[in-house]
Structure 1
């Protein structure tokens, strides 16, 4: 049910759940916590507050800022928007009993739009909000019944927002000292670089999962470049590369090591996963050491495209990790 004027918003999402209200109320009381069972992370940036859930707790999700203006444990949370975002009003989550073994979980926005939000709300914010709330209700249904009868379908504008918000920006960085396996494997590399991406809470913290995501499912353009590479290097006596070059050769805690030795150079790649309370940093580091003149020439050419290739592979893995499909798989 949604009723909206030109500048006023009244937006309601609700779902009947076949369990007592107290059971859903316990889920609601974990809103904004690290183990929030309802908020659809990692698709969307998590809801976070500056203190435990209580009146006065200040925070929001991403650029959408608000504070807790009313709280009845197990029943109702009211949030008041920070007017700087262009919404003046509240959004409320509440659990309404429908009998001894049924309840209604409802979210309602009542607000006026201001400034740029008068354009942004109908253009993109509303569809993202509707998608987030239906995904949240899916999570509630799954938590209490074990399945979802009609899962939310992400429209293209919501998928675009997820890609831009959750996929993360890949940044160059020094090879981290914590990549101990990599430093031990090739301590004197001729090529050494590292790139990191930051992803929201809820993504995998298993470095092997990330290694598979980066190297076993690269972008199509990277696959095409690898095939071209095999054609070009053959006349120069350099071995053709295959997927075995990205086999895992070691693991220690949050780091996995991949790579191979060839006649022209030795190659190692490290995936290092560093989780914290606000998300996870995934770093892909590379060391390569040449063995011959052909290897040095090869590395000189490959080094020109290597940063772009690594960025593309890491960016794709990050976006897939926070995709709606990935979240549904994790939740199931």
Structure 2
């Protein structure tokens, strides 16, 4: 078997999500929780305008989900504790030597490094549960990893971060060679690009310790969409400047030097917790479209849509306000997971 993770822009069978349940990232204030559910549902309903959506829902939240979600969305009841599906759900892969074969990588999930506040026993079962639902071959892995910690070009290149896959709270005995070998086995990576770090806010208590999917992505092979903080008052001004210099010296699996496309951050610098990590990089590519994060800034949101549509020709960008999701620790890409279309010859 030679598994390969397709590019996110390849055709999708559907998008998978999990509906929020009580937990630290949902918030304690009822009004805040309601805004969180509304933002989550808005993302699902927006995706459903482009492709099928399946939502895993804890039975205790079934009535709320049915009320808030578009009727076209498939609801599957199953126990849910953690609900950031990109990170704890399966990473779907294909086998080019076996037309029609679909695999589902089941990484070990420990709540982003086993913090005291996280609960993940139920979420850790979702990859296997989802694989069974769709008839995918389970690809078991002993690597502690999350879907938001990788981005691929579909041709062998994967972006990762030293502070994620080499995090001793995740993979205590790992080194680069071991991680690279496992990424080759599970997703077909032949070139691993190791980012030195992620955005500043992502190292806070409820952060992921540097997920790449809020920093950089590969819209097409050989090109990088890079978060660009343009205000020197924000600590990510230096982070994004240094990452730009880093990517200028990197090559992909085909030996190409990356073309770097800056994706400017919105003007907002802080929320009640401190410096924000608002990033337009954390978008989801869907069939015929792009679901883009919005931050209540008409000019910046419009500029991001324009850049994204140019980076993904032929797709229409749709903005969904993601501020409440970011307050919980992530964005639109973090809560969704694409299942690629496989065609049997």
Shorter-chain TM range is: under 0.3
TM-score computed with the length of structure 2 as normaliser: 0.24
Rg larger in structure: 1
* Structure number with higher relative contact order (C-alpha < 8 Å, ≥ 6 residues apart): 2
| Greater helix proportion | 1
| Greater strand proportion | 1
TM-score computed with the length of structure 1 as normaliser: 0.25
